[in-house]
Structure 1
Amino acid sequence: MSKHIEVLPDTGALIQRSLELVLEKLRQAIAERDVATIALSGGSTPKPLYEALAQQDLPWDKIQIFWGDERFVSHDHPDSNARMARQAWLDKVPLPAANIHPMPTDDADPVDAAAKYDRELRQFFNLDRDEIPHIDVMLLGMGDDGHTASLFPHTEALQVCDLLATVGNKDGQPRITMTVPIINESRTIIFMVAGENKQNALSHVFSPNPDTSTYPSSLVHPEHGELWWLLDQAAGANLPQA
């Protein structure tokens, strides 16, 4: 694993550095494989990144969009991660509709929805049952409780290793989330973390022997890919690396 920790002066610098890194990795993937795959995160932190990506000149037909997690709401709901990404970025560039792969949330049962996304991933990447795809860019955030994607502390989703997508649980509310194995097989993982309220969780995640069940972000440690922690000064102020 190649691990990098950068503490940026403010959120503006965090977004700019994230943009540089995402563009570099997307272009590298296209140059090497003629396609780039990226899994998006939700929340407020990445929205300015998506707005910046909407201004870029990229070979959009070669970029495939996935999501790391999604709230179990309709795609036009204000809380939808897909809706946010479409409004900030995807609807503003000539991305073919077939290149956008939102998590299904119209099923009555979230288990069925997660299984449907698992099948879509396996079909897109042409996988055998026991194979895990290598997504080029995995964007992640971290909550002040240490969760990432919809992998929340002390939930069953943390233990799921035989699926690519499963049901996450946020205070009894279902989510759809990619699982730890597919996240860790990504070629490049980028955490974007902002805010003073993240300091405590970061101190636990970066400790020598983190409690992975209590701080799920510490489960992210790719064996082969790159791991980037991009923090603003407020989040990273108390880290030894800062």
Structure 2
Amino acid sequence: MYQDKVALVGGALGLVLEQIKQAIAQRGQCSLVLAGGSTPKPLYEALAQQDLPWEKLHIFWGDERYVPPTHPDSNEGMAREAWLDAVDFPAANIHGMPTSAQDPQKDASRYEAELREFFGVSAGEFPVFDLILLGMGDDGHTASLFPQTAALEVCDRLITVGEKSGQPRLTFTIPLINQGRCVIFMVAGANKQPALQQVFAETADPVAYPSRFIQPQGELWWLLDEAAGTVLKSFNNLVIE
């Protein structure tokens, strides 16, 4: 647990750099999935200051609002502004979610096909990303997997269509996230406390708090600032650092 958001971002930067370097050393490249929202933006700005072999990084997104990358609500647009367009990043290594078909289901299928081609996996198989960054909303959602929505039930696809307030979003499915070698949640703010209590409770409904569904085969890290994480100090089954 970190004292504040600045310290949280610093801790996340160290962990992300470690995972990137490990992936490159072991597999020659790193597949990195970015999150949207305000919490990871300073992390992306910090990554832009690093001296990394950009040609060995491949960037993906775990979810996207159904808007063009130039729209102010675009997750891709935010990451480009904060990081990707600020360094000499190869355009071919940036794998944004398509949002131009005027049909979210069609674009979800297009992105799934791109992932299958990139990783060389056939239907029925799930690729393994090196590093997946996630946030959590105050309702317990992550990516665009919102409480009580049909996207939570999709287990045979890589990408599906989520929705919030009637607005479609493209999103990784739960089983795709859970194939990750390393999944990192970044959560900040006192408004996240009620959801965190339910996510870490011994028993709770994951359909109501979808972040509970995220149990990857690899490492799982929850990076919290004190405003968010202090509520977990009373949980006897957790080690809070």
TM range (shorter): over 0.9
SS in 1 for 2:175: helix
Alignment map for 1:1-242 (pairs within 5 Å): 7-222=1-216, 224-240=217-233, 241-242=239-240
What is the TM-score when the length of structure 1 is the normalising length?
0.96
1:125-154 per-position Cα deviation (integer Å, ceiling 9, x unaligned): 000111111101100000000000000000
Percent of aligned positions with the same letter in both sequences?
60
Rounded to whole Å, the distance in 2 between the matches of 1:28 and 1:94 is: 22
How far apart are 1:16 and its partner, in Å?
0.4
1:87-143 per-position Cα deviation (integer Å, ceiling 9, x unaligned): 000011111110000000111110001111111100000001111111011000000
Rounded to whole Å, the distance in 2 between the matches of 1:80 and 1:45 is: 15
Rounded to whole Å, the distance in 1 between the matches of 2:39 and 2:128 is: 24
Unaligned runs of 5+ in 1: 1-6
Rounded to whole Å, the distance in 2 between the matches of 1:136 and 1:99 is: 15
Whose relative contact order is higher, 1 or 2, with alpha carbons under 8 Å and at least 6 apart?
Answer: 1
Rounded to whole Å, the distance in 2 between the matches of 1:157 and 1:93 is: 35
Unaligned runs of 5+ in 2: 234-238
Output the amino acid matched with 1:124. F
1:192-235 per-position Cα deviation (integer Å, ceiling 9, x unaligned): 0000000000000001122110000000011x200000000000
Rounded to whole Å, the distance in 2 between the matches of 1:210 and 1:41 is: 25
After the TM superposition, list the runs of 4 or more consecutive aligned residues in structure 1 that deviate by more than 6 angstroms.
none
Say what the alpha-carbon RMSD is for the aligned residues.
0.7
SS in 2 for 1:139: strand
SS in 1 for 2:231: coil
